[in-house]
Amino acid sequence: MSFLGRSLGTIALAVLTLTFVSAPAQAQINAAKDGWLVMKIHSEFVNEDVLSGSNIDVDVKNGMVTLQGTVPSEAARARAIQQAKNNDGVKGVTDQLRIAPAVYNNGKLDKAQDKTVKIADKTEDKLEKAGDKSASAMKKTGRAIDDGWIKSKIYAQYMADWNTVLNDSDIDVDVKNNYVTLNGIVKSAAAKAKAVSIAKGTDGVKGVKDNLRVGTTN
């Protein structure tokens, strides 16, 4: 075999080896980006009045977003989808949301929250008709503290710590009747403790069940 032939063979082998070595690393990078997108999308749901009474699950795989759970109206569905699509890195959104009545406080919609939601809906309608963007930006947030809000709020706080202890985490937050269950993977014991602490300190949370594992996301 000529020198040129041996050189080309060596280069090809090196490229092939690099491909196999980098595949797991790339998968880990993709998982980390997906975890960040879950947090980012949820963070944008927190102050959306139209989503009051929603309980949305956000799943992301290789930049493809799937929205599941419940929303109280078609307007809420449209807003959730649009918010997800607006994020950099999102390649597409699959809508599996169901429209269901808003439910708070263990199955009961209390009068104070009902009034807040109705006021928020009326305000939203008036602003849309007027097309007044500046007024929309200034209107008071009326979203109630329900299971869906708690979930999104926890994710929003996780995103704030993404560049410190929680980076490369893949955490699933489930909330039922104000009780939080954490599943998924974090990179260290410090990250695990931080995730649990944030959940416990969130408004409306009555308790936290920690099922987090320390490891890698690949």
Residue-range domain boundaries for the chain: 30-214
Q: Kindly report, residue by residue over 108-127, the tens digit of the pLDDT.
A: 454 444 544 454 445 445 54
Does the structure show a pLDDT above 60 at 210? yes
What is the average pLDDT across 128-147? 54
Torsion angle in degrees (nearest 10) through CA of 79, 163, 88, 154: -10
SS3 track for 94-135? EEEEEECCCCCCCCCCCHHHHHHHHHHHHHHHHHHHHCCHHH
Do 183 and 172 contact (CB within 8 A), yes or no?
yes
* pLDDT score of 26: 45
CB atoms within 10 A of CB 126: 13
* pLDDT score of 106: 52
Of the listed ranges 39-53, 59-73, 121-135, 198-212, the one predicted with least confidence = 121-135
> Does 201 or 15 have the greater pLDDT score?
201
* pLDDT score of 163: 82
Is the C-alpha dihedral spanning 212, 213, 215, 218 positive or negative? negative
* pLDDT score of 24: 46
Q: Kindly report, residue by residue over 61-98, the tens digit of the pLDDT.
A: 999 999 999 999 999 999 999 999 999 999 999 999 99
In whole angstroms, give the CA distance from residue 96 to residue 76: 13
Matching residue, tokens 């975890």: 35
Does the structure show a pLDDT above 60 at 197? yes
List all residues 6 or more positions away from 130 whose beta carbon is below 8 Å from its beta carbon.
none
For the chain, the average pLDDT equals: 78
- Identify the CATH class of 30-214: alpha beta
* pLDDT score of 78: 97
